Structure 1
Amino acid sequence: MPRHPIRLPEPHAINSVSPRTAMGLPPAYVSGQLNDNLPLADSRGLLGEPGDALSHLIHEGYPPPLRYLAGTVLALAGDPRIQPLNPKMLPVPGGLLRMGTEASEVDRVLARFNDLNLARPWIEKEVPTWTVSIPPFRLGRYPVTNLEYVAFLQDCPEAALPTSWAFGQMPPERANHPVYSVPLHAAQQYVSWLSQKTGRPFRLPTEAEWEWAASGGDNREYPWGSTWTDDCANTVESHCWMTTPVGMFPKGAGPFGHLDLAGNVEELVDTYYGPYPGGRWIDDDLAASGPYPITRGGSFTRFRDLGRCKRRHGYLDHPLYAIGFRIAEDMTD
């Protein structure tokens, strides 16, 4: 697919321009890679495949349109990977995390992303480094999906509806996409509900736990390693420009097997913004409306810099901020 020229706004204008402008898209229609390939790959026989085979197809190295089609069929027919009351949790071993970025590294980070017009304070939020002890825990293999959030709403109908759902209705063809446009209190209510339903100690991960699960503590740039490739994550660079079925980017798996840690939707953590010990407060547009929860991982509306394991971002009620969440669980056995 021909790539259009990217013209990015100045950093101070990121939240005052349209989401398309912030994503580097022109006012005129630009077709994404999924729409470019309609009909989506060769679908002959795909509808007759059992769910397990389709699940396998999503995680294999087939072209993105075919993986997307398999995911859509699964969403409508029933995705065996998604069990609202028995989410797939992967163990994360404990260890010592050297969290953050040295002040001397900020210029190097900015240079690596000099095509994205980043503001220096965005990276300075990561300064300085400090050591955190992480006990063992479990983390969801995928972010929470629309289908799982529907199960929650059926029991708790007064909870916040995702604003990304037109007229408050989940798009059924996106049942296995990550839910997004939900506030922190709704994510916290979800994990409380799930804990009560299952008797298991679910919660949101802390910011340090999230970074540990994404990096494995080895200072890698992205969950899969230190080299960016567009087929590892659903960010603006992948040219999807919409959410995708969870797990559709298997090359982007993190060190402990988690998927979609970078891209698809940003993930809320159970930590509000504050400087790291010895750091300085960054008073940016996110802080203008008061304390805000940290988000990690980037999304389909954001560029690759937000997919970095160390990158700190935050919640804002704005269409450009495609924010969902992933659940953690205390180790009790």
Structure 2
Amino acid sequence: MILREIATFLFLYTLLVSVAVAAAPVQHQMEPIDPDELQQERIVDYLETGIPNCALCHASEQRPATDYRNDLECRQCHSADYSQQFLDIDERYKVPLKDRQYKVALAKPTSTPSSTAINTVKKTIIPDDMVLVPAGEFIMGTNDWWPKSGPEHSRHLPDYYMDKYEVTNAKYEKFVAATSHRLPDHWVKNGNKIPADQEEFPITFVSWQDAVDYCEWEGKRLPSEFEWEKAARGTDGRVFPWGDEFDKDKGNTPQHGHGKSMKVGSFDSGVSPYGLYDMVGNVFEWTSSWYRSYPGNTHNDPNEGETYRVVKGGSWYDCTYYRCGISAPTYNRIFFHPMTKNFTFGFRCAQDP
């Protein structure tokens, strides 16, 4: 009985907060999810079991308009206590609070790929618009971020290729024309065509399966989250593709202030050690990996398994708007249901030699 009374109070409180937020002007707002029986039931379930139900957000195209740090369930993962070191970025770059709707590590000396790796790239015939990521060990994850991103550990990967750029609208259009694949939602709303002057923007509103289908059509595949992270941070364990200090002018993040996606390859100074563009910001990128804990991770996460896929890279609209940090660190990982589609999810492809 007490649990039910607490749940009813929380439901009414959430309703009032949602109404207040919905009434405020929001520039880049995904339609708020009104509290209903589903939300009330998940609160009751959490009070009784202690296990958060993340499906309300992570399996939906919509997002609740809320401060996730104060949601009873979301605090299990989004509590600011996990990521204090980058919370000051919001204030430093004055990201407007009215836009907040969507869902880093100690300094290390930066470096570039070894001369051996560079020579290998020069001597290898590389597919157009792809880069070679040479075989070898790299640092994966971190001990200074969300529990799901740790622990820091070493991994060894063989040679592989990665797209230098995120897949663009123009490239995806060729795929659709050749295969009669369904159009992205925003194309349909635009008369079944690419929005004006956005041919070289990253494709969005694509599910995980859409991304898989495109890569297979090109004779490629989605990268694993391990391949993605190595391509983004190199072998020296850096936090961002360019080094360990955040820089708002090296990627299309909320702090950069552009307010929407941009033409791929717009930040020459933000490339990764291997020469990949937009590994931070612009759009999140699907990977082939199921969301699972890393070896040695002792954090109990009921969401791991074969339900959600890992998404990497941050975007122009990321965790900044949830008031719980930033998504830009290369080791940041989030998870979403494979059928999720929205205006911040895109992808790039990988290929075996």
Shared fold, TM over 0.5: yes
| Equivalent in 127, 135, 147 of residue 158 of structure 2 | 135
Q: Which moved more, 1:232-241 or 1:87-96?
A: 87-96
Amino acid paired to 1:210: W
- TM-score, length of structure 2 as denominator length: 0.60
**2:217 matched to 1:193?**
yes
| Equivalent in 311, 316, 319 of residue 332 of structure 2 | 311
- Other-structure match for 1:221: 239
Amino acid paired to 1:97: F
Q: d(CA) in 1 for partners of 2:304 and 2:159?
A: 36
**2:350 matched to 1:328?**
yes
Q: Would you say the 8 A contact 1:301–1:320 is kept in 2?
A: no
Q: Would you say the 8 A contact 2:283–2:346 is kept in 1?
A: yes
Give the gaps of 5 or more residues in structure 2.
1-65, 75-94, 100-126
4+ residue segments displaced more than 3 Å: 12-16, 280-284, 287-290, 316-321
Aligned length: 235
Q: d(CA) in 1 for partners of 2:210 and 2:341?
A: 17
| Equivalent in 96, 100, 123 of residue 141 of structure 2 | 100
What is the RMSD computed on CA atoms of the aligned residues? 2.9
**2:307 matched to 1:262?**
no
- Other-structure match for 1:58: none
For the structure 1 residues 212 and 190, does the alpha-carbon distance in structure 2 shift closer, same or farther, using more than 3 Å as the test? same
- Other-structure match for 2:202: 178
Q: d(CA) in 2 for partners of 1:138 and 1:14?
A: 42
TM-superposed deviation, 1:10? 3.3
- Other-structure match for 1:148: 171
| Equivalent in 184, 202, 207 of residue 162 of structure 1 | 184
TM-superposed deviation, 1:164? 3.5
SS at match of 1:90: strand
- Other-structure match for 2:98: 26
Q: Would you say the 8 A contact 2:138–2:237 is kept in 1?
A: no
- TM-score, length of structure 1 as denominator length: 0.64
Looking at CA atoms only, which structure, 1 or 2, has the larger radius of gyration?
A: 2
SS at match of 1:139: strand
TM-superposed deviation, 1:162? 2.1
- Other-structure match for 1:298: 314
Give the gaps of 5 or more residues in structure 1.
1-7, 17-22, 28-85, 107-122, 196-201
Q: Would you say the 8 A contact 2:292–2:304 is kept in 1?
A: no
Q: Would you say the 8 A contact 1:315–1:321 is kept in 2?
A: no
Q: d(CA) in 2 for partners of 1:15 and 1:24?
A: 25
Q: Would you say the 8 A contact 1:297–1:309 is kept in 2?
A: yes
Q: d(CA) in 2 for partners of 1:171 and 1:87?
A: 26
For the structure 1 residues 244 and 321, does the alpha-carbon distance in structure 2 shift closer, same or farther, using more than 3 Å as the test? closer
Deviations 1:172-217 (A, max 9, x none): 410000001211111111111111xxxxxx1111111111111112
Q: d(CA) in 2 for partners of 1:288 and 1:99?
A: 18
Identity %: 30
Q: d(CA) in 2 for partners of 1:140 and 1:245?
A: 15
Deviations 1:208-258 (A, max 9, x none): 111111111211110111111111010111111111000111111100111
Amino acid paired to 2:193: Q
Amino acid paired to 1:294: V
Q: Would you say the 8 A contact 2:133–2:161 is kept in 1?
A: yes
Q: d(CA) in 2 for partners of 1:15 and 1:178?
A: 33
- Other-structure match for 2:262: 244
